[in-house]
Amino acid sequence: MRWLFLLLLVLNLFYYVWHQQQAPLRVKEVEPMSLYRGAQQDIRLLSEADRQQRREPAVAPAAAATETCLFLGSFQQEGAAREVEQRLMSLDIQGEVRGIDAAAGLDYWVYLAPLASRQASLRQLKELQARKIDSYIITQGDLANGISLGIFPRSDSAQSVMQRLIDAGYEPLLRELPRAQRSYWVRIAPQSRRLADDYLLQQLASDFKDLQHQLMPCEDVAMPR
């Protein structure tokens, strides 16, 4: 009986050792260091966040809209604009006369191109004058030493002169010249605009014929030369 008990005990020990060898090893899971460090980087003290906000540049405000001014006009003569300016000054309203050039159509310039030398152009000028054709030597610009045959407000008049020259054996050229017309306006200073109320504008319109008022960019109108 004792031997049987010892045998069973040895068998149990042998089975326990064999079972431990056959059991799979358990691997302990460890978070990668990169994840640990990444989590640390996402943690900031409140004091650090405040300092970061102070270091960041403030966003610049949007550019202010273009300032507009009240203009009174328009006048064909500068003297009339000066009268309105003086009237405003007597009412403690600051004003300034300004001029603007606007396109007012085209002029047509008939001419002959410059020749190889000034002497050759002068000989050609004498030939034209001998034919009773009005002509003048051009003294400056890109057409210097050419011959001007007149500037005409209408295209048909210029074409008539050109045809006469062609019939005489010349080769005239035509250049279009923009025609500018200057008008004068009185610009009311922005700080005085509140003083130019509707009642004052009506009074000025009754004293100055065809006076108009418009709101335009303050620097859009050029100073008179």
**pLDDT beyond 50 at 178:** yes
My answer on whether omega of the bond before 135 falls inside 30° of 0, hence cis, is no
The backbone torsions φ and ψ at residue 8, rounded to the nearest 5 degrees and listed phi first, read -60, -40
- Residue among 207, 203, 186 nearest 89 (CA): 186
- Can you tell me the mean pLDDT for 96-112? 88
Higher pLDDT, 9 or 177: 177
Res 108: pLDDT: 95
Which segment of 120-134, 146-160, 163-177, 180-194 scores lowest on mean pLDDT? 180-194
Give the CA distances from residue 56 to residues 41, 45, 49, in Å, rounded to whole numbers and listed in that order: 20, 17, 11
The three-class DSSP label of residue 137 is: strand
Higher pLDDT, 220 or 154: 154
Res 217: pLDDT: 83
**pLDDT beyond 80 at 195:** yes
Q: What is the dihedral of CA 214, 219, 220, 225, to 10 degrees?
A: 110
CB 224 within 8 A of CB 100: no
DSSP symbols for 140-152: SSTTTT-EEEEEE
Res 26: pLDDT: 47
Can you tell me which residue has the tokens 């200057």?
A: 182
CB 204 within 8 A of CB 211: yes
What is the residue-averaged pLDDT of the chain?
78
- Can you tell me the mean pLDDT for 147-166? 94
Domains identified in the chain and CATH numbers: 68-103+181-217 (3.30.70), 104-180 (3.30.70.1070)
Which segment of 11-15, 26-30, 180-184, 210-214 scores lowest on mean pLDDT? 26-30
The three-class DSSP label of residue 121 is: helix
Res 4: pLDDT: 67
- Can you tell me the mean pLDDT for 82-108? 89
Integer Cα distance of 22 and 28 in angstroms: 19
Confidence of residue 59 (pLDDT cuts 50, 70, 90): very low
Q: What is the DSSP letter of 168?
A: T
The backbone torsions φ and ψ at residue 105, rounded to the nearest 5 degrees and listed phi first, read 110, -165
DSSP symbols for 28-90: PP---HHHHHHHHHT---HHHHHHHHHHSPPPPPPPPPPPEEEEEEEESSHHHHHHHHHHHHH
- Residue among 108, 182, 186 nearest 149 (CA): 108
Task: Give 161's Cβ-side CA count (13 Å radius).
Answer: 23
Confidence of residue 117 (pLDDT cuts 50, 70, 90): very high
What's the pLDDT tens digit per position in 8-36?
676 666 666 656 655 544 444 444 444 44
